Amino acid sequence: MGPHPAVAAIRLAVRRVLHDVLNDHPAPEASPHEPPPSPLVLVACSGGADSMALASALAFEAPRLGIRAGGVTVDHGLQPGSDLRAAEVTLRLRELGLDPVESTAVTVGREGGPEAAARDARYSALDAAAERQGAAAVLLGHTRDDQAETVLLGLARGSGIRSLSGMAAVSGGPGAARRYRRPFLQLDRQTARKACMVQSLPVWDDPHNADPAYTRSRLRHEGLPALEKALGKGVVEALARTAQLSRDDADALDAWAGQAESSVRDAAGLLECAKLYALPPAVRRRILRRAAIEAGAPAGSLFARHIEEVDRLITGWRGQGVINLPGKVVAQRQGGRLVIRQG
Ligand SMILES: Nc1ncnc2c1ncn2[C@@H]1O[C@H](COP(=O)(O)OP(=O)(O)OP(=O)(O)O)[C@@H](O)[C@H]1O
């Protein structure tokens, strides 16, 4: 008898991603003296159902493909006893056969709110662990439900299709463009939970996930259920599909803007307002955003409203003065040229 369908589903999702990792990291030439080192794949595990299911599938699939499987858990230090829980998670990962397994403690700052600060600290710690261990990839347990929540959060921000594209199946960290993989992005949370249950894997339910003080938690427990009630069960799947379609569109527009940029600059490299005016707004706004970032505006603080204001120097010119952008960057129209620079 084969494995339970939920277990088969999580293993298949992980197997596919491990094949991709192997394609990205072909084995080096074998030396006559030593076998080639096997690549290491780490699972980022909070101890929750999604990442425990992921860890179990990695532990099962990796050895079959000649991959070493390890794990890392991050102690955010935000709750009393979080160190004990991290120790327990490392123990569970070792019991699954993962090696190396490490627990890493971080200090969570305040920048951008509690959720963003915890996420930043977590990714820095995961990057450092991947570097330390020489890992070829780090697996994350985001599911289709997480993706649906991310799309809704992006929609509510009102900042365009890039923020509707949710999380990428493959994304980068410093110096490693394809470090993070999300094998469960097409899988629902229920499947991961079920896989843990039928494999008798103990899981830890993060109290933050149910805390209504957090936006994502309210969305998970109130927003999405209300949407499902109003629009039907398929809404999560539809939102996840929106993410993929939006990502493809956003990538195409980014590429278009990249190509168009050189044609709107004069011999001195300045942006010509008349040529910018002639471009479709989506392409023009991308060029403006890139120019602001190049001048030193931090991408994370540069919002749609900032770019709209710069855009009005092109499309609604009435002699406006200097426009201040984050990172002390200023934008100004001068003699038919748009100048974006440090103020
Ligand atoms: N403390 C942590 N240590 C290591 N990895 C983490 C930690 N918290 C989250 N992650 C990784 O990020 C993914 C998404 O986490 P998030 O908290 O957003 O979702 P979740 O639905 O609660 O996931 P899980 O059920 O795995 O905790 C996790 O599946 C895991 O891979």
ipTM of predicted assembly, 2 dp: 0.95
DSSP 284-338: HHHHHHHHHHHTT--GGG--HHHHHHHHHHHHS-S----EEEGGGEEEEEETTEE
Which residues have any ligand 1 atom within 6 Å of their CB?
44-46, 48-51, 73-74, 122, 140-142, 146, 206, 209
Q: For residues 141 and 184, is the Cβ–Cβ distance under 8 A?
A: yes
**Residue 30: its pLDDT value, please?**
66
Q: How far is the CA of 335 from the centre of ligand 1 (A)?
A: 52
Residue of 249, 303, 328 lying closest to 288 (CA atoms):
303
Q: Are strands 40-44 and 137-139 parallel, antiparallel or unpaired?
A: parallel
Q: What is the pTM of this model?
A: 0.89
d(CA 118, ligand 1 centre) in Å:
11
The 10 Å Cβ neighbour count of residue 189 is 21
49 appears as a binding residue in the annotation? yes
CA 151 / ligand 1 centre spacing (Å)? 18
Kindly give the number of the ligand 1 atom that is closest to the alpha carbon of 143: 21
Q: Which atom of ligand 1 is nearest to the CA of 51?
A: 26
Q: Nearest 10 degrees: CA dihedral of 112, 113, 114, 120?
A: -10
Angle, CA of 291, 297 and 302, to the nearest 5°: 95
Atom of ligand 1 nearest to the CA of 74: 3
Distance CA 99, CA 105 (A): 19
Residue 110's alpha-carbon distances to 107, 115, 154, 242, in angstroms, are 10, 9, 21, 31
Homologous superfamily (CATH) of 5-231 is HUPs (3.40.50.620)
What are the pLDDT digits (tens) for 13-50? 999 999 999 999 877 776 777 777 899 999 999 999 99
Whose structure tokens read 């469960």?
Answer: 184
Pairing of strands 323-325, 329-334: antiparallel
Share of the chain above pLDDT 70, in %: 100
| Res 340: pLDDT | 97
In the chain, % of residues over pLDDT 90: 83
pLDDT at 261 over 90: yes
Is 70 labelled a binding residue?
no
For 22, half-sphere exposure in the C-beta direction (CA atoms, 13 angstrom radius) is 15
Q: Where are the domains of the chain?
A: 5-231, 265-342
CA 270 to chain centre: 34
Class of domain 265-342: alpha beta
Least confident among 164-173, 180-189, 200-209, 256-265: 200-209
Average pLDDT over the chain, rounded to an integer:
94
The neighbouring-strand residues paired with 139 are: 43, 181
